[in-house]
């Protein structure tokens, strides 16, 4: 039976697929992309800009007056102050530019400060992750649930590593070492949006990262919650957008993962060597 989706989710899916058609074509010719350097290890490509333009125009056409928060355009005020799109047109830019087929489009709908719908689309595998508040999380037409594992020794975690030129490398290594010592392994795949989607799908048992943006995580946070998982910032609060940090896992693992990372951070603080 086909899953019934609400109209706003359908709008987001349509926009994502339209932008993805162009991304997929550009990915096939990645060597020919015009690339400019925007900052330390932070690249923006012609494909990224084109995808954002398509998403902006499509979403404005269907929902005129809504505001935007976009990776390249930043805040775009609309006549409607209550509804805002949070958009990352290409999460996993470095993967894309190196010909690695692991990247996604992320779109979230925020109403009065709360994300209530989200879509993450991986065009190469044609995987559409989506969620709406109170309606669960899905992959295409299949309902998602976070993993049920509780033994850390059997669990696989995902994370992100600070790029060159950004602080926090040693603090990250301390946290990663603590998790590696008790788990089945850690993956660093290069797309925060897909990391969160994979937690929602039970592919990863947990995920943490610091120094990411609202558009990287907005849709993914809702996916994890609607799949039965827990999300907080690194400090255990709910200020993910403000702090740029996130820990996501199921109800068995969120607390022990949070403690491991907090203990690693506290150890560096006590030594006076904390770098982030």
pLDDT tens-digit profile of 206-249? 999 999 999 999 999 999 999 999 999 999 999 999 999 999 99
Beta strand pairing status for 114-122 and 127-132?
Answer: antiparallel
Residues 6+ apart with CB under 8 A from 126: none
Pick the CATH number of 7-143 from 3.30.540.10, 3.30.70.20, 3.40.50.300, 3.90.1150.10: 3.30.540.10
Structure tokens, 259: 């403690």
Q: Residue 43: helix, strand or coil by DSSP?
A: strand
Using the 8-state DSSP alphabet, how is residue 273 labeled? -
Q: What is the pLDDT of residues 32-75, one digit of tens each?
A: 555 555 543 344 578 889 999 999 999 999 999 999 999 888 99
Mean pLDDT of 23-27: 88
Mean pLDDT of 121-149: 97
For residue 263, give the H/E element and its range: helix 254-271
Matching fold, domains 7-143 and 152-271: no
Structure token pair of residue 123: 């065009």
Domain residues of the chain, as ranges? 7-143, 152-271
Fold of the 152-271 domain = D-Maltodextrin-Binding Protein; domain 2 (3.40.190)
Tokens 């609202």 locate to: 214
* Spatial separation of the C-alpha atoms in residues 15 and 124, rounded to whole Å: 16
Q: Which two tokens stand for residue 229?
A: 């998982």
**Would you give the DSSP letter of residue 237?**
S
Q: String of b and e for 44-53 (b: at least 16 CB within 10 Å)? A: bbebbbbbbb
272 has pLDDT over 60? no
Tell whether the model's pLDDT for residue 181 goes beyond 90.
yes
Q: What is the pLDDT of residue 271?
A: 46
Q: Tell me, what's the pLDDT at 254? A: 97
Of 149, 170, 153, give the one whose Cα is nearest residue 161: 170
């Amino acid at each position: 039976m086909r899953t019934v989706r609400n109209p706003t989710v359908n709008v987001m899916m349509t926009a994502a697929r339209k932008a993805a058609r162009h991304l997929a074509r550009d990915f096939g010719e990645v060597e020919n992309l015009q690339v400019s350097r925007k900052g330390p290890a932070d690249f923006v490509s012609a494909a990224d800009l084109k995808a954002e333009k398509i998403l902006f125009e499509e979403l404005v056409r269907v929902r005129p007056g809504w505001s935007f928060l976009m990776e390249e355009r930043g805040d775009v005020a609309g006549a409607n102050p209550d509804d805002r799109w949070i958009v990352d047109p290409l999460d996993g830019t470095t993967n894309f530019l190196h010909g690695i087929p692991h990247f996604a489009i992320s779109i979230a709908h925020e109403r009065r400060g709360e994300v209530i719908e989200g879509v993450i689309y991986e065009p190469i595998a044609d995987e559409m992750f989506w969620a709406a508040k109170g309606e669960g999380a899905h992959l295409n037409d299949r309902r998602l649930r976070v993993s049920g594992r509780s033994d850390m020794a059997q669990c696989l975690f995902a994370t992100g590593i600070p790029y060159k030129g950004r602080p926090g490398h040693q603090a990250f290594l301390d946290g990663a070492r603590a998790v590696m010592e008790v788990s089945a392994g850690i993956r660093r795949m290069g797309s925060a949006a897909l990391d969160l989607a994979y937690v929602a799908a039970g592919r990863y048992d947990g995920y943490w990262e610091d120094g990411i943006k609202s558009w990287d995580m907005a849709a993914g946070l809702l996916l994890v919650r609607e799949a039965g998982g827990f999300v907080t910032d690194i400090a255990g609060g709910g200020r993910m957008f403000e702090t740029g940090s996130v820990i996501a896992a199921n109800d068995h693992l969120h607390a022990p993962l949070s403690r491991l990372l907090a203990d690693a951070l506290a150890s560096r603080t006590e030594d006076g060597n904390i770098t982030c």
